[in-house]
Amino acid sequence: MTLAQLDLTGDLARPARLTVPELLGWPQHRVRVSFECATSGTQVHRFEGPRLYDVLSSAGPGFDPVRRKDRLRFLIAVSGADGHHALLSWAEIDPDFAHAPVLLAVSIDDTPLDRAGPQLVLPQDRCGARHISGIRAIRVDGGYRSLPPVPATPGLGSAEVR
């Protein structure tokens, strides 16, 4: 049996290539999720797997852990085998901010995802569009620190004082 692999890349001290059996080494969380699917209506499933935060934290994201605001510039791009993509901010999953219980599911309805690969599960989303199946890559990117400030354009959202 060939196992699907997930590549963790980007601004990480310890990039990694992981399989579903390796993801079983993190604490497992179980959630029952109901979400709306555009093509097949309301879906209800049970997912189990580690939290995305735990897996990415162990890979050593490249922010200064002492400076909370440094984390806010980090984005997480998730890509599935079928070409679907989702983007999250680090603040969504960080316990100091939104602390969303985002999972890298290793099973759905008690069926292991060893061959298909893990699934991104966002229990807080009403719509299932960010549930990415068969994750092949997760990229952590914090390269937004040096963007210059954007000057206000008169008439486009700026208030003129008289």
List the chain residues with pLDDT less than 50.
158, 160-162
Supply 29's token pair: 């969380």
pLDDT at 151: 76
Supply 3's token pair: 């196992």
pLDDT at 147: 59
Cα Rg of the chain, angstroms? 18
Q: Distance between the two ends of the chain, CA-based, in angstroms?
A: 72
CA 50 distance to own-chain centroid: 12
Supply 28's token pair: 């497992």
Express each pLDDT in 123-152 by its tens digit: 999 888 899 999 999 999 998 655 566 776
pLDDT at 35: 86
Amino acid letter at 26?
A: W
